[in-house]
Structures are given as C-alpha cells and as structure tokens.
C-alpha cells in the first residue's frame, strides 16, 4: 500500500507504525496520523429535479410555498409538462389549497413558483421562469426558489416531458482528520504518519535562536500549556534575553519571550498573531505542525532544525576541530590545546554568529577540572533551577562553579552562590537520612549563608554538604567523580557536565 511518512511517499506491505518508522509511539511521545476522510451531506434547501431531458437544481427559500413543495415531493414525481412558451416551463397537475387571484405579478429569470391552471386550486402547476416576465399565474406572490444549475435544460424541455425524480442535493466533501496515536497501531492506505516537526530558523534574532536551539538540543520539545492561539514550552522560563527583532507571528511561527513574567518561554503559534516587541520571532515550522497542534500538555514531540547548532562546549579539542571541519568552519585552539583538553569557551558562542564568521576559537582546560554530575530534577525542582542558573547550565550544556573555600581539613569544598537569588529558595529535599559523600547541597533561605553550594568528601550524620544542619540544606544532586574534587584549590574554577 502507499503511505506517507512525514509527507514523503513510500510503498510498503507493512502495517504497524513501528515497522514502518522505527518509532513506537507512547503516551509521552505520540505521533499523529493524517487521514483523508470523505463525508456526504444533504443540503436542506437545495433540490435536484431530474426530467426526461436532464437534471436542473433549484435553491429554495423558506415560506409556505416551499413547505408545500417539500410536503408534496412524491406528488411532483411523474408530473408532465402541460405547456411551454418563451417565458416558462409548466409541470402539472397537483391539488393545492391556495386561494386564486387574477392579479399580475413580475417574475425574475429562473424563478421557481406555483400557479393555478384556469385559476383552479385543484390544477396546481409548478412553473419555472426561463425569462423575466409579467403574468397572471393564479396565486399571489408564490415564488419559493430559483434555478441555480442546469439552466440550459429548461430550453430543451418540451410538452410531454416528465419529472422523474426530486431529491435533496447530496454534497460530498473531503477533509483531513488528525488522530494522536499513543501506541503501536496499524495504518490505512494513504495515511500520513507525522513523526517530527522541521523548523526553518531566521537570522534576525541570534540570541533567541540560540536559546531555542539549546531547548531542542536533544531533538524533543514538550508542550507545557496550550490554548486556541498557541502552545508553549516553559522549560527555560525565567531566562533573561535581549530584545531582538520582532515580526508578525504567522501560523507555525516560533517565538521566544524576551521580557516580562514569561521571559524565556518558547511559543508555537496555531493561528496568526500580531507583532509584539516582547517576542523575538526565531523561525517557523515548515513540516509537522500537526504535532504541536494536536498533542496535549505534558506530551513531547520530535523536532529538528535545518540550521544546526554549532556548540563545542564540553567536548575535546579534537572533537571540536572535527565538528568545525564538517561544517566548513575554520577552527583555532587556545588555552590547553591538547587533543583531550575539554572546551570551556567557544568564540563566537552563538551559532548564527559563528557560522556567519566562518571561524571559531575554542579554549580548552585540563580534563581534571571537568566533572560529571547528576541532578535531582524531580526531588528538588526549585533548587535545581537555582543551581542551573548559578552554574550557567540553564542555557549551556557545560556549567561552571567558582571555588569559594577548598580546605582538606574541612572535609568539604564550597562554591560561590548568589544570596540575593537564594532569598526565594525554600527548604527542599533535606538530607534527613544523613549526607552522603559527593552529594551537592545548597544552603536555603532559612540561613544567613543562603545560596552557598557545597560538597562533602565523606558521609555525615550531622551536617549537610555546606556545613549547615539538615533543615537549612537542600540536596540537588551528586558528583559522579567526586574524588577528584580533593585536588581542586581555592580560587579555581571547575566545569560541569550532566551525565
């Protein structure tokens, strides 16, 4: 059968989504099936009248004559043309209860009306006006419709022709139906399996674009909120950004809010929206918009950008060189230039600026200053957000911490925080069962030393990683190679990578 995967046609005998795409949809990461559907609808006021010379269509309007027509459809079938002239075609006869009149009336071209032959209510006639004319049809103001299609048939109809059939017009329409699929389901011939969204980015907003590229670095985007106008991701909400160029937000456009309460949030527009300076428009979805249009808050969808992110932070100088070469970018090493040195600074860091310049420099450090960590996102979400902000990991894959105190006799190491920012850091995930070595702790707002970040080199049943009691300590994560921390000196900077 013929199918489509992300709008690209394929021929296959397979029927399961997983067999066709290699993806097993689930509740967290569904796919969308686009399916063409046909539907028939009877038009309540439009009738097809089939005669021995062909079919013409009339559109009726509501009045007592239209009601009579509707109630006597069976009586009309089989009626013959009693006479024709240059102005009218007249089918008869049908019994009526209409009062007769000898007044003259004006009738427009193609008007449909009832009349009385010989002014006799038992000899009702159905008259079709071929031309505008004035006549005594026997009933006052009896028009109830107009011929809209098949008008040429009227000139062919002669005396003796019959009405064979009268029925409501059936209108067939085709449209696309979209279904969110959360399990490995079968598909039908002609279905389009939509598995990902593809984004085209603009060059007008380099900082907001980098913000967005960092958000989708793992190829996924979660919907946190939606309404009829847009859907939104709040993973990076609270991140400050410069005000950049704003454009009209057409359907499918992507913007990053740069100011206000929702700064840092990313929006996808489901309908057109006006320009707003608080939104930097970074690009648009060119394929797969049906995914964010149909999935629910809490669900993720696959997303990729035609513009690739050029960011070498956290990888080796050798790897950075290879990436730059593959993208046609000139590369210069600074700092520790050894192949295994870890890149901690890239200049320019912004992908669009780096690609425009056609050249980057990468500063490396000895791998002993780079540590892998695990963060407790579920247990301490507020504290983790603080930690990511302080370390820079809210917008980069490589974080950094400046050493405040490092003394082996203290059996711990402390890093600089931000007391002002920590002023809103509530107690969260305290080490109630004791502190394990390598755990990362933050002093919360209940202490005057709030904001300080620390790690212990040995277990403690009495104090947290920053030397505070457990009530004043929030546990946010752990170092996976904490033994190397003992060699770090006061005044140094260490660098962090998530596992």
Regarding whether 23 and 68 lie in a shared domain, the answer is no
- Dihedral sign for Cα atoms in the order 334, 338, 344, 348: positive
Residue 325 DSSP SS3? helix
Q: What are phi and psi of 325, to 5 degrees?
A: -65, -40
Spatial separation of the C-alpha atoms in residues 380 and 396, rounded to whole Å? 20
Question: What integer pLDDT is reported at residue 179 of this predicted model?
Answer: 95
Regarding whether 134 and 62 lie in a shared domain, the answer is yes
Mean pLDDT of the chain: 94
CATH code (residue 273):
2.40.100.10
Rounded to a whole number of angstroms, the CA Rg of the chain reads 38
Question: What's the number of domains the chain is made of?
Answer: 5
pLDDT at residue 215 tops 90: yes
pLDDT at residue 407 tops 80: no
Question: What integer pLDDT is reported at residue 411 of this predicted model?
Answer: 87
Which residue, among 155, 158, 159, has the nearest Cα to 110 in the 3D structure? Answer: 155
Spatial separation of the C-alpha atoms in residues 358 and 361, rounded to whole Å? 11
Cα dist from 173 to 30, 37, 176, 448, whole Å: 28, 8, 10, 70
Spatial separation of the C-alpha atoms in residues 405 and 141, rounded to whole Å? 100
Mean pLDDT, rounded, for 83-105:
94
Mean pLDDT, rounded, for 68-79:
94
Regarding whether 449 and 399 lie in a shared domain, the answer is yes
In a domain, 175, yes or no: no
Regarding whether 129 and 29 lie in a shared domain, the answer is no
Regarding whether 473 and 416 lie in a shared domain, the answer is yes
In a domain, 311, yes or no: no
Mean pLDDT, rounded, for 448-477:
94
Confidence of residue 92 (pLDDT cuts 50, 70, 90): very high
Regarding whether 409 and 322 lie in a shared domain, the answer is no
Regarding whether 103 and 64 lie in a shared domain, the answer is yes
pLDDT in tens, 31-48: 999 999 888 888 889 999
Question: What integer pLDDT is reported at residue 328 of this predicted model?
Answer: 94
Confidence of residue 376 (pLDDT cuts 50, 70, 90): very high
* Residue 10 lies in domain: 2-34+180-192
Count the residues in the chain. Answer: 499
pLDDT at residue 9 tops 90: yes
Question: What integer pLDDT is reported at residue 430 of this predicted model?
Answer: 95
């Amino acid at each position: 059968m013929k199918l489509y995967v992300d709008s690209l046609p394929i021929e296959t005998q397979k029927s399961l989504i997983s067999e066709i795409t290699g993806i097993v949809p689930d509740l967290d990461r569904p796919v969308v099936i686009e399916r063409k559907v046909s539907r028939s609808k009877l038009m309540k006021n439009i009738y097809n009248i089939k005669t021995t010379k062909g079919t013409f269509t009339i559109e009726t309007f509501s009045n007592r004559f239209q009601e009579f027509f509707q109630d006597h459809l069976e009586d009309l079938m089989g009626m013959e043309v009693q006479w024709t002239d240059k102005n009218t075609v007249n089918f008869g006869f049908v019994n009526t209860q209409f009062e007769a009149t000898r007044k003259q009336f004006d009738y427009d071209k193609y008007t449909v009306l009832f009349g009385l032959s010989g002014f006799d209510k038992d000899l009702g006639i159905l008259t079709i006006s071929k031309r505008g004319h004035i006549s005594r049809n026997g009933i006052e103001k009896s028009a109830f419709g107009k011929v809209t299609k098949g008008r040429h048939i009227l000139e062919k109809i002669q005396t003796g022709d019959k009405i064979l059939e009268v029925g409501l017009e059936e209108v067939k329409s085709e449209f696309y139906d979209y279904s969110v699929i959360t399990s490995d389901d079968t598909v039908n011939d002609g279905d389009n399996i939509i598995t990902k969204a593809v984004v085209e980015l603009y060059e007008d907003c380099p900082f907001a674009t980098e913000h967005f590229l960092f958000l989708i670095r793992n190829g996924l985007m979660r919907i946190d909120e939606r309404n009829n106008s847009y859907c939104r991701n709040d993973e990076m909400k609270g991140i400050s950004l410069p005000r950049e160029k704003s454009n009209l937000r057409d359907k499918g456009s992507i913007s990053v809010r740069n100011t206000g309460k929702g700064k840092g949030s990313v929006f996808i527009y489901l309908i057109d929206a006006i320009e707003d300076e608080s939104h930097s428009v970074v690009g648009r979805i060119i394929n797969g918009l049906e995914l964010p249009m149909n999935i629910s808050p809490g669900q993720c969808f696959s997303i990729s950008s035609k513009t690739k992110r050029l960011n070498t932070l956290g990888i080796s100088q050798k790897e950075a060189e290879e990436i730059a070469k593959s993208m046609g970018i000139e590369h210069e090493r600074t700092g520790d230039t050894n192949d295994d040195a870890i890149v901690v600074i890239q200049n320019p860091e912004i992908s669009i600026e780096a690609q425009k310049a056609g050249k980057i420099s990468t500063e490396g450090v000895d791998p002993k200053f780079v540590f892998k960590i695990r963060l407790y996102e579920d247990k301490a979400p507020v504290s983790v957000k603080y930690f990511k902000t302080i370390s820079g990991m809210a917008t980069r894959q490589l974080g950094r911490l400046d050493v405040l105190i490092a003394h082996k006799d203290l059996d711990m190491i402390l890093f600089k925080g931000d007391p002002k920012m920590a002023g809103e850091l509530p107690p969260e995930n305290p080490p109630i069962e004791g502190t394990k070595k390598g755990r990362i702790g933050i002093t919360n707002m209940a202490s005057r030393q709030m904001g300080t970040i620390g790690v212990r080199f040995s277990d403690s049943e009495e104090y947290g990683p920053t030397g505070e009691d457990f009530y004043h300590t929030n546990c946010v994560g752990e170092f996976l190679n904490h033994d190397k921390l003992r060699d770090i000196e006061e005044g140094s900077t260490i660098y962090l990578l998530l596992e």
